[in-house]
């Protein structure tokens, strides 16, 4: 039930209902059930566990009333900017550009974290909630109870909860699939298999551990802990990240087991958010080796599946230079299979990553265009191609322009991949 309480210039709203379906719209949208505290200077929003998740300043000093801060479950503050609206949607497929505080491969965006009002929100939100609690001495019990919990979830506790999440997952999720943008990166991570097959030289997100499946007992243990950790906020989730870097390389049995058990245990069928998504990574080998029966069985599950395959390049010289131990012929084969899976299965979308950088051999771009333009007879709405800038911490207008030229020629939806962790 929605409760609204005003006192001393403060407003507390409990049980607010945001959108129940992820959509792409050009104004700020809140998802799921949340509570809100409004002061003269700022608006703060909290999830079902009374943990802060959104904030924005009010008044003229805030960079833009359409922009806001989001705190991820991994305890990162992310600033969503409009980017002046010009070209953001065309570039990333979303109306808002996530600005991250850690090194990543983003080509666009400024430095909103240098802005005083943004820094003040991040540094002072908790002190301000303590003040609100002090100013609402006469509030009804449910408001006091909520504020007590919001104050208890101080920055140290939130950092500790994030550490616990990393522990449950066997380590921090260093990279989320690009398609998880469809759920605003609000995914619950469950690692079915650790590590990856290739250990490519160019890759900045790989883990040292060798590829290894997790046991079913370990999946159950992790789900128990995830249910406990997400607690009262679990109902706001409908999306799974099945980790780690190559979940598609797990056995068919383990993959299906992990997805079905996660769907049941995490309550996706009864989530406030409608629909259900599973995001995972795959490699060229795991994708080519995946039995058709796997896709047939996934078809029957009540989820949308997004599999992201790291193709990187269809040019042998580029693959060798990148230290990616696969052949251009296998990349081509995987691309072909991607087209047939995307055509055959309504609830499965296979997307692919290609790299971009000025330092790559001249043969890289023509080889990629041979696949995404020449081999596709007409434009298709499915089977997204992500171009992933190779360098971290190197925003570049030239590369954005190069991307735009590339995108115009592609016959598949084509976007930039901003590497985001959880």
Q: 31: how many CB neighbours lie within 10 A of its CB? A: 20
Question: Total residues contacting ligand SF4 (rule CB under 6 A)?
Answer: 11
Q: Using the minimum distance from each CB to ligand SF4, give the nearer residue, 132 or 173.
A: 173
Query: What is the distance, to the nearest Å, from the Cα of residue 162 to the centroid of all Cα atoms in its chain?
Result: 16
For the bound state, the minimum distance from the C-beta of residue 166 to ligand SF4, rounded and expressed in Å, comes to 17
Report if residue 182 touches ligand SF4, rule: CB under 6 A.
no
Contact 414, 92 (CB under 8 A): no
Cβ partners under 8 Å of residue 321, min gap 6: 360, 361
Contact between 243 and ligand SF4 per CB under 6 A: no
Q: Does residue number 250 form part of the binding site for ligand SF4 (CB under 6 A)?
A: no
Report if residue 198 touches ligand SF4, rule: CB under 6 A. yes
Interface residue with ligand SF4, options 196, 240, 314, 334 (CB under 6 A): 196
CA distance 414 to 422: 23
Work out whether 203 is an interface residue with ligand SF4 (CB under 6 A). yes
172 lines the binding site for ligand SF4 (CB under 6 A): no
**CA distance linking residue 406 with residue 316, whole number of Å:** 20
CB closer to ligand SF4, 156 vs 208: 208
User: Nearest approach, Cβ of 246 to ligand SF4 (angstroms)?
Assistant: 6
H or E element in which residue 348 lies: strand 348-356
C-beta closer to ligand SF4: residue 199 or 261:
199
Identify residues 3-22 at the interface with ligand SF4 (CB under 6 A).
none
Q: Tell me which residue of 308, 164, 287 sits closest to 241, measured CA to CA.
A: 308
Choose the binding region for ligand SF4 from 18-26, 192-200, 266-274, 366-374 (rule: CB under 6 A): 192-200
Q: Which residues 266-295 are close enough to bind ligand SF4 by CB under 6 A?
A: 283
Supply the minimum distance, in Å, between the C-beta of residue 195 and ligand SF4: 8
The separation between CA 207 and the C-alpha centre of its own chain, rounded to angstroms, equals 19
The smaller minimum CB distance to ligand SF4, of residues 206 and 391, is found at: 206
Rg of the chain in Å (alpha carbons): 22
The stretch near ligand SF4 (CB under 6 A) out of 31-39, 45-53, 195-203, 366-374 is 195-203
Is there a contact between 385 and 413 (Cβ–Cβ < 8 Å)?
Answer: yes
Q: In 3D, which of 12, 38, 1 has the Cα closest to residue 140?
A: 12
List the one residue from 199, 252, 337, 391 that touches ligand SF4 (CB under 6 A): 199
Candidates 26-34, 56-64, 125-133, 203-211: pick the segment binding ligand SF4 (CB under 6 A): 203-211
The CA–CA distances, whole Å, from 323 to 64, 78, 319, 352 equal 43, 32, 6, 18
Q: Please, what is the angle between helix 216-230 and helix 155-168, to 10°?
A: 160
> Strand, helix or coil at 181?
helix
CB neighbour list of residue 364: distance below 8 Å, 6 or more residues apart: 313, 315, 317, 318, 355
Site for ligand SF4 in 317-346 (CB under 6 A): none
User: Closer CB to ligand SF4, residue 50 or residue 280?
Assistant: 280
Question: Rounded CA gap, 56 and 76, in Å?
Answer: 15
| Residue 200 engages ligand SF4 in binding (rule: CB under 6 A) | yes
Calculate helix-pair angle for 252-265, 292-299, nearest 10 degrees: 20
Which of 310, 331, 335, 412 touches ligand SF4 by CB under 6 A?
310
Region near ligand SF4 per CB under 6 A, out of 186-194, 201-209, 300-308, 401-409 = 201-209
Give the residues lining the site for ligand SF4 (CB under 6 A): 196-200, 203, 205-206, 245, 283, 310
């Amino acid at each position: 039930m929605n409760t609204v309480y005003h006192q001393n210039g403060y407003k507390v709203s409990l049980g607010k209902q945001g959108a129940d379906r992820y959509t792409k719209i050009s104004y700020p949208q809140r998802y799921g059930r949340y509570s809100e505290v409004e002061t003269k200077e700022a608006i703060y929003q909290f999830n079902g566990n009374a943990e802060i998740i959104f904030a924005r300043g009010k008044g003229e000093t805030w960079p833009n009333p359409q922009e806001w801060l989001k705190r991820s479950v991994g305890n990162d503050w992310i600033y969503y900017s409009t980017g002046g609206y010009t070209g953001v949607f065309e570039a990333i497929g979303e109306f808002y550009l996530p600005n991250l505080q850690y090194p990543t491969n983003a080509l666009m965006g400024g430095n909103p974290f240098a802005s005083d009002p943004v820094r003040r929100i991040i540094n002072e939100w908790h002190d301000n909630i303590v003040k609100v609690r002090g100013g609402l001495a006469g509030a009804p019990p449910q408001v006091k109870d909520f504020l007590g919990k919001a104050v208890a979830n101080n920055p140290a506790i939130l950092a500790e909860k994030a550490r616990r999440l990393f522990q449950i997952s066997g380590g921090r999720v260093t990279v989320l699939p690009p398609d998880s943008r469809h759920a605003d990166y609000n995914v619950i991570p469950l690692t079915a298999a650790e590590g990856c097959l290739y250990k490519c030289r160019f890759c900045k997100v790989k883990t040292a551990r060798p590829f290894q499946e997790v046991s079913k007992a370990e999946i159950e243990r992790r789900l128990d802990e995830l249910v406990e950790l997400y607690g009262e906020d679990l109902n706001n989730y409908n999306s799974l990240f099945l980790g780690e870097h190559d979940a598609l390389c797990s056995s068919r049995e383990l993959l299906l087991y992990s997805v079905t058990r996660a769907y049941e245990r995490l309550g996706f069928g009864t989530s406030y958010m409608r629909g259900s998504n599973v995001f995972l990574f795959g490699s060229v080998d795991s994708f080519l080796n995946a039995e058709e029966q796997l896709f047939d069985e996934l078809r029957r599950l009540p989820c949308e599946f997004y599999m992201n395959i790291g193709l990187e390049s269809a040019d042998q010289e580029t693959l060798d230079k990148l230290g990616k131990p696969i052949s251009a012929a296998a990349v081509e084969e995987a691309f072909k299979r991607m087209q047939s899976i995307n055509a055959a299965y309504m609830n499965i979308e296979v997307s692919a990553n290609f790299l971009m950088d000025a330092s790559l051999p001249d043969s890289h771009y023509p080889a990629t265009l041979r696949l995404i333009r020449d081999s596709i007879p007409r434009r298709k709405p499915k089977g997204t191609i992500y171009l992933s800038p190779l360098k971290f911490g190197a925003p570049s207008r030239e590369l954005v322009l190069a991307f735009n030229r590339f995108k115009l020629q592609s016959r598949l939806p084509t976007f930039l991949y901003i590497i985001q962790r959880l």
